[in-house]
Amino acid sequence: MAPKRKYPARGYRPKKSRTRVERKTKFLIVTEGVLTEPQYFERLRPIVEQRYGVQLVSMPRTDKGNARGGNWKSDPFHVVKKCVEKRNEEETRSRKSKGDIPEFTRCFAVVDVDGRDVGKSPTVLQQAIALAADEGISLIVSNHKFEVWLIWHHDKASPSSAAERLTPQATELGFVEGKNISTEFPIENFLDACQRAKKAALVSPGSVGPNPSTAMPSLFDAIMQAQKNAN
pTM for the whole thing? 0.86
Q: Flag whether pLDDT at 10 surpasses 80.
A: no
The pLDDT score that the predictor gives to residue 4 is 53
Query: Which pLDDT belongs to residue 120?
Result: 79
Residue 99: predicted pLDDT: 82
Interval 95-143: pLDDT, tens: 999 888 999 999 999 999 976 666 778 999 999 999 999 999 999 999 9
Residue 176 bridge partners (DSSP): 181
What are the extents of the domains in the chain?
25-230
pLDDT at 64: 45
Is the pLDDT reported for residue 18 higher than 80?
A: no
Q: Give per-residue pLDDT as tens, 32-72.
A: 989 999 999 999 999 999 999 999 999 886 654 444 445 66
pLDDT of residue 17: 45
**Please, are residues 185 and 194 in contact by the beta-carbon 8 Å criterion?**
no
Mean pLDDT over 4-30 rounds to 61
pLDDT one-digit tens code per residue, 146-159: 999 999 999 999 99
16 pLDDT more than 90 = no
Q: What is the mean pLDDT of the chain?
A: 88
Nearest to 109 by CA among 58, 63, 40: 58
pLDDT tens for residues 195-221? Answer: 999 999 999 999 999 999 999 999 999
* Angle, vertex CA 144, rays to CA 43 and CA 62, nearest 5: 50
User: Could you tell me if 110 and 34 are in contact, meaning their C-beta atoms sit under 8 angstroms apart?
Assistant: no
pLDDT for 38 equals 95
Sign, CA torsion 193/196/202/208: negative
